[in-house]
Amino acid sequence: MAATILDGNKIAGEIKAEIAAEVKTMTAAGVRPGLAVVLVGNDPASEIYVRGKVKSCEDLGIYSEKITPPDTITTEALLTLIADLNARDEIDGILVQLPLPAQVDAKRVLMAVDPRKDVDGFHPVNVGLLSTQRPGLVPCTPAGIIEILKRSNIPIAGQEAVVVGRSDIVGKPVAMLLINNNATVTVCHSKTRDLAGVCRRADILVAAIGKAGLVTRDFVMPGAAVIDVGTNKVTDRAEFERLYSGHPKREESFRTKGSTLVGDVHPEVAEVAGALTPVPGGVGPLTIAMLMSNTVRAGKLRRGTGCS
């Protein structure tokens, strides 16, 4: 039986509708949440991401500011800009779009963001709050993964979860969130012995390793929920054939564009998994929805107006 495909766009739409209602209530009480996005230089991919974030703010009634310093900016000048945003009361969230130019010390810049305004949830203070189950700001993609599971009625408590990938942005925080939701969690990486064997134990399998189609059917326990975080651009014909041989729609798209997007999970997994997030249209839409949620949450936490 084919897997149930978990529609990230639909779930993101539900979350955004809830946020819009919350923003309306806050604004009526005289507090409009605000997000500042710092986009250094003219990286085309970053510009697309930022445009999506700003548009989401507009759609939901959140105040937003896009700040675009030149790509020649120094670390010191960027730190001054961040300090200014930290001090502004109408800005609840600060997002520094990565990557930053080579001459900028990205770690120093990210560390300079006030943890209470760190809507990416990357600051060590927020990492510590997450690991000790205290209220804070949680990284957007991991938070979105938990929302997909909960809103799709996939049980987490007591389940065996395996996370493939140990990045600070996805792997580690999603493992922590799963632990906080009472799953038994194993984190795998490039040095894991018998990766497929470990993954086969999972009721919930999260693939976040950045390798196209790495997770094949022999990694998946029949009926498992598989969350695919990867977005890999495939341009090689042989690699395309390995993944999408016999998919006429994908074939047509690959022929016209010369590339296709694929996750870390091989399409054949749909034949054994119980539930699966597609790429695109799975985890991706949740990331922006949770950024909006974090901006509202930051506004409430900073003002002490109820957030657990």
Domain ranges of the chain: 31-119, 140-284
Element (H, E) at 17: helix 8-28
Q: Angle 284-303/140-151 helices, nearest 10 degrees?
A: 110
Q: Give the Cα separation of 209 and 216 in Å (integer).
A: 13
Longest dimension (CA), the chain: 58
The model's confidence at residue 44, banded by pLDDT at 50, 70 and 90, is confident
**Per-residue pLDDT, 304:** 79
Q: Give the Cα separation of 218 and 43 in Å (integer).
A: 39
Reply yes or no on whether the pLDDT at 272 is more than 90: yes
**CA nearest neighbour of 91 among 60, 63, 58, 49:** 63
The two tokens of residue 21 are 């209602």
Instruction: Convert the pLDDT of each residue in 279-288 to its tens digit.
Output: 999 999 999 9
What separation in angstroms does the CA of 130 have from each of 135, 142, 271, 277? 7, 11, 35, 25
Active site residues: 53, 97, 120
Domain 31-119 has CATH 3.40.630.10: no
**CA nearest neighbour of 175 among 210, 125, 223, 127:** 127
What type of residue sits at position 256? T
Q: How far is C-alpha 308 from the chain's CA centre?
A: 21
Instruction: Convert the pLDDT of each residue in 121-152 to its tens digit.
Output: 999 999 999 999 999 999 999 999 999 999 99
| Residue at token pair 């510009």 | 47
Higher pLDDT, 246 or 88: 88
Q: Give the Cα separation of 48 and 291 in Å (integer).
A: 16
The model's confidence at residue 306, banded by pLDDT at 50, 70 and 90, is low
**CA nearest neighbour of 58 among 34, 31, 38:** 34
**Per-residue pLDDT, 21:** 97
Quote the Cα angle for 280-281-283, to 5°: 95
Q: Are 14 and 151 contacting, i.e. CB atoms less than 8 angstroms apart? A: yes
Q: Are 263 and 228 contacting, i.e. CB atoms less than 8 angstroms apart? A: yes
Q: Are 201 and 158 contacting, i.e. CB atoms less than 8 angstroms apart? A: no
| Residue at token pair 């949450």 | 297
The matching CATH number, chosen from 1.10.274.30, 2.30.30.110, 3.40.50.720, 3.40.50.2000, for 140-284 is 3.40.50.720
Higher pLDDT, 247 or 284: 284
Q: Give the Cα separation of 146 and 149 in Å (integer).
A: 5
Total residue length of the chain:
308
What separation in angstroms does the CA of 1 have from each of 15, 27, 160, 221? 30, 48, 22, 13
